[in-house]
Amino acid sequence: MNYIATPPEREISTAFALTFGETVRARRSFRAFLPDPVPQSVIHQVLEDAQFAPSNCNTQPWNTHIVSGNKRDELSQALLAAGEAGQTSADFSWDAGAFPDPYDDRRREQGKVYYGSLGIAREDEAGRARAGAMNLSFFGAPHAAFLFMPSIGDNVRVASDLGMYGQTFLLSLAAHGLGGVPQTVLGLHADTIRETLGLSRDLKLLFGILFGYPDETAQANCTRMDRAPLSASVTFHDD
Ligand SMILES: Cc1cc2nc3c(=O)[nH]c(=O)nc-3n(C[C@H](O)[C@H](O)[C@H](O)COP(=O)(O)O)c2cc1C
């Protein structure tokens, strides 16, 4: 491995027309995409940007698998079949009922805003199930990135490194005029994804990121989630 701080052979992205503040705010979760594929050179730029994410002791524990074209269609079919059969195979647990307030409050608000934007009522279980299945058909996105990791200790430090990587990937998408959505739902189908991609069980799936050109006119993309004020999240200690 080359440990030169900034290897000269690395391509530096020149796509940054937005300021940092604009890029951070341009990133949001898109849940409807145009079918047009993203040029391979642009996907490479995004991956090069993400590679500069920080990690504990520079361990860079992310193992990223990009799925496009026929493989994307095959995988989506396998995921839809697993979903239909009620099969899940998560490497890491997800328990929506485990959140105390104020986190649960925010979780519920997100569901209300998203399903509301699709015109799906709270008690419409069939409608919610149909909307849930849209995660498995990739919301029409032409590409999916799967963020796998080695299992080390209690996995928390490794998972935080993958979170850093995921956000850098998402910000680079935004800077390139692309959109994405992180996907714990895809992380609930680790076996199906490993089997379809022929991957070792040693790689654990944390989450996926669907990406492509967002369909800005779609109902699913017409809302923006609000954030708590700084006072709810930050405490200054300076005396
Ligand atoms: C790790 C992670 C996993 C997520 N999983 C899903 C998912 O499975 N399905 C989905 O529709 N959104 C998913 N989201 C998107 C969140 O709902 C979204 O980030 C949040 O509501 C804030 O909205 P914003 O991204 O538009 O700012 C996930 C986000 C993160 C960070």
Strand partners, 143: 68, 211
Nearest CA to ligand 1 atom 28: 182
For residue 183, the SS3 value is: strand
Domains and CATH numbers, the chain: 23-223 (3.40.109.10)
Pocket test for ligand 1, best of 31, 183, 185, 211 (most atoms within 8 A of CB): 183
56 close to 157: Cβ distance less than 8 angstroms? yes
Compute the distance between CA of residue 125 and CA of residue 115 in angstroms, rounded to an integer: 11
> Is the shortest distance between the CB of 207 and ligand 1 below 6 Å?
yes
CA of 131 to the centre of ligand 1 (A): 14
- Which long-range contacts (C-beta less than 8 Å, at least 24 apart) are formed by 225-230? 225/28, 225/29, 225/110, 225/113, 228/102, 228/106
Burial of 130-147, coded b for 16+ CB within 10 Å and e otherwise, reads: ebeeebbebbbbbbbbbb
Pocket test for ligand 1, best of 29, 105, 107, 130 (most atoms within 8 A of CB): 29
Angle 180-181-186 from CA coordinates, rounded to 5°: 125
CA of 5 to the centre of ligand 1 (A): 33
Q: What is the pLDDT of residue 9?
A: 53
Q: What is the pLDDT of residue 11?
A: 53
Of 89, 63, 92, residue with least CA distance to 161? 63
pLDDT digit string (tens) for the chain, length 239 residues: 444 444 445 555 555 678 999 999 999 999 999 999 999 999 999 999 999 999 999 999 999 999 999 999 999 999 999 999 999 999 999 999 999 999 999 999 999 999 999 999 989 999 999 999 999 999 999 999 999 999 999 999 999 999 999 999 999 999 999 999 999 999 999 999 999 999 999 999 999 999 999 999 999 999 999 999 999 999 999 98
Q: How far is CA 215 from CA 29, 68, 233, in A?
A: 12, 18, 32
DSSP state of 33: B
